Amino acid sequence: MSNNTDINDAINSSVGSPIKRAVDSVYDSINRNIESRDLLQKYEKTQKKHVRTQLENINLLGMSTPIPLEKIYYPAQVSTGIRRRLYEQEWLSESGTASKRDKKSRNGKDKCIDASEYVLNNRKVIILGGPGAGKTTLLRFLALLNSGAIDTNEKIENSLPFFIHLPHFVKSDKNLFDYICRPLTKATDQYAADFIKRTFNKGTSIVLLDSLDEVPLPMRHDLIEKIKEFEVSYPILRIIVSCRTADYEEVLPNFCEVEISRLSRDAIGKIVRAWFDDDSQKASKLISLIKEDNGVASLTETPLLLSLLCIQYRHDLQLPKRKTELYRRCLDTLLRDWDAERGFRRETAYENISDDRKERLFEHIAGKFFIEDNAYEFKKDHMLSVVDDFLERVDVQKVNAEDLVDEIERHHGIIEKLSQDYFCFSHASMQDYFVARHMLSKRIESEKITKNIENESWHPVIEFTIALSGDPTAILDLLIKKSTMEGLSNFPPMARRTKILMLLYRAMSSSPFISRDMSNKCFSHLISSQITMANIFKSGKIIPFAEFGPSGVRHVLFYMERPRPTLGEALQPYRKFSNLIAATPMRDYATACFNAVDELLEQTKGQAHMLLDEALLINLITPLGGTWPPEVLSRLNIISERSSLSFIKNIISKSKSYIETKAR
């Protein structure tokens, strides 16, 4: 101890000696390194905190309070194939002939890649997509991911994130680097800019430039030049830009281009479950509704409209009673609310083309192509000719059809380029909606529906027509007539009429404007048709028994003889019909059904065992178990108690177990 003291005293007494200066230099160097690390960590922590505060909550259209982005985000998929840039032969080679493509879905078969993984492997990326496709949400997610605010298994490089809303940037008088530095400099000190430049030069940051399409057109060229200069200044910096596909005309040369893909059915299901993570039953019901309705399913392929659907379902505990209300809300969102909600107004060259006239234009295009050719894809020259015809009819002078269609695509995305040579409605079911409006405005609905009622591609249009009509009684009477099962004994014609019966059920679920007597007539027909169908199955030596489980309603088959080869053709629509009833419950239908079942139970009370009656009773009420458990369970108990067959008791037991689980 004394030796150490002597050494220290010697050093202290030798003021200015080389030994003391060397020791002080070592200690100073250590202290400077520690202070430097602390300072760098302070800048990094402050920036990440700023990003989290700025971006972790999201305000969704129609919601009064923001919600955490992480709660509803599903990993986006991107495609390197920008279809709107392909010419006809390239497009056909990728998609197949028009007759082979699924006209009801805009989900292409391009190879999709996880967006985060693509960004990890490419330092300069432009993210494209239509209105509400999730471009901004993706950039916000990437920023939060790199800030450490989101715990995920996705691969990241842990780059320091900087998120810039480009429409705000262009209003400033700063260059891009100074604008990026401003928040951190304000929160710390003037040396923050040196720290940021260091991370940019080392490539350890990620700069996310959002909403290029929302920058006013006169300012867009200068902005793109600034982005180019910025990108050249920091060649290894990771830069991601988002823009609507239709607005991306002046290309950033060193950037890879990808387009956000439509949501898959799996993605839709996961997002809905995230929305209703506190109520799994509600999530399951909404997923079933989407699954059973192809039109609604096509809307949910974009995150914006899927969110709108989830908000509506959360508020009302059901979809809008009239399906047309949902489409009206979606249309208003795309035409007006989506931009207005964010305080943004797009410049237009066509002030005299009001939103109302645009809707009439959509009706004209939809009706022209569907009624004449049953087409969901429109050759460019033909479509522009149709637009010209409309403009002439409404006496709008000196408007270039191609420029107008281009602006509508950029502003609203309701009509979009499918390729260089073809256009389409962004959602096929939106075209069905406008076809119905077109027919009603021209008063041709009765003629066209009578002619095409057995054509399944017309069924969504017929459903919309009934929902929109001031008095659809005549159309409903036609559906009753065309779906009658009386006099049938073979499966194929029963299968065709079952599809029309399903159309009648969907039409009634849209709450059409009809009298109480007409409503009762339709529900009575739906129930009596199922009774007749049971007899047709029996005549074919087969009796189906409905069983309710996690995958919906299925039918356990009791064979009396070897089944006819056409049985499968009849069973498929029958099962779809049962699941439609389960997914789209109607109180009036259920009341009529319970009354019919109670009447049958009373008629068969005390009688000997009758297999067909038991099957009929089970098939009528089982699909209602998810919505009205007590009413269904009490009647299933009666049927089970009366039955002497163990396999029927077993079927009922399985359904009861599932219904009781859902009811908890």
CA–CA dist 603, 7 (Å, integer): 113
| Beta-sheet strand order (sheet of 378-379) | 378-379, 422-425, 415-417
pLDDT tens-place string over residues 422-459: 889 988 889 999 999 999 999 999 999 999 999 999 99
CA–CA dist 647, 657 (Å, integer): 15
- DSSP structure class, residue 419: S
State the pLDDT at residue 162: 97
Helix (H) or strand (E) holding 388: helix 380-393
Is the pLDDT reported for residue 273 higher than 90? Answer: no
State the pLDDT at residue 109: 45
- Band (pLDDT 50/70/90 cuts) for residue 26 is very low
Is the pLDDT reported for residue 15 higher than 60? Answer: no
SS3 at position 418 = coil
Tokens of 446: 């009765």
The mean pLDDT value for 620-629 works out to 94
The mean pLDDT value for 540-569 works out to 90
Tokens of 582: 């389960």
pLDDT tens-place string over residues 180-207: 999 999 999 989 999 999 999 999 999 9
State the pLDDT at residue 91: 46
Tokens of 176: 């891009």
The mean pLDDT value for 378-394 works out to 90
Helices 459-468 and 445-452: angle between axes, nearest 10 degrees = 150
The mean pLDDT value for 544-557 works out to 93
Which one has a higher pLDDT value, 559 or 519? Answer: 519
Pick the range with the lowest mean pLDDT from 21-35, 370-384, 494-508, 645-659: 21-35
Mean pLDDT of the chain: 84
pTM: 0.79
Is the pLDDT reported for residue 32 higher than 60? Answer: no
Pick the range with the lowest mean pLDDT from 339-343, 469-473, 479-483: 339-343
State the pLDDT at residue 315: 66
SS3 at position 553 = strand
State the pLDDT at residue 574: 95
Which one has a higher pLDDT value, 51 or 291? Answer: 51
Torsions phi, psi of 131, nearest 5?
A: -60, 130
Is the pLDDT reported for residue 23 higher than 50? Answer: no
Is the pLDDT reported for residue 557 higher than 80? Answer: yes
State the pLDDT at residue 314: 72
CB 324 within 8 A of CB 467: yes
State the pLDDT at residue 107: 45
Is the pLDDT reported for residue 478 higher than 50? Answer: yes
pLDDT tens-place string over residues 388-398: 998 888 877 67
Helices 428-442 and 355-373: angle between axes, nearest 10 degrees = 90
SS3 at position 173 = coil
State the pLDDT at residue 622: 96
With vertex at residue 139, the alpha carbon angle to CA 136 and CA 141, rounded to the nearest 5 degrees, is 110
The mean pLDDT value for 139-166 works out to 85
CB 526 within 8 A of CB 621: no
State the pLDDT at residue 328: 87
CA–CA dist 210, 228 (Å, integer): 15
- DSSP structure class, residue 76: -
State the pLDDT at residue 515: 97
Give me the helices (H) in 419-468, please.
428-442, 445-452, 459-468
- Cα→Cα distances 211→136, 214, 216, 445, 459, Å: 7, 5, 11, 42, 39
CA–CA dist 315, 312 (Å, integer): 5
Torsions phi, psi of 283, nearest 5?
A: -60, -45
CA–CA dist 145, 609 (Å, integer): 65
Is the pLDDT reported for residue 87 higher than 90? Answer: no
- Band (pLDDT 50/70/90 cuts) for residue 98 is very low
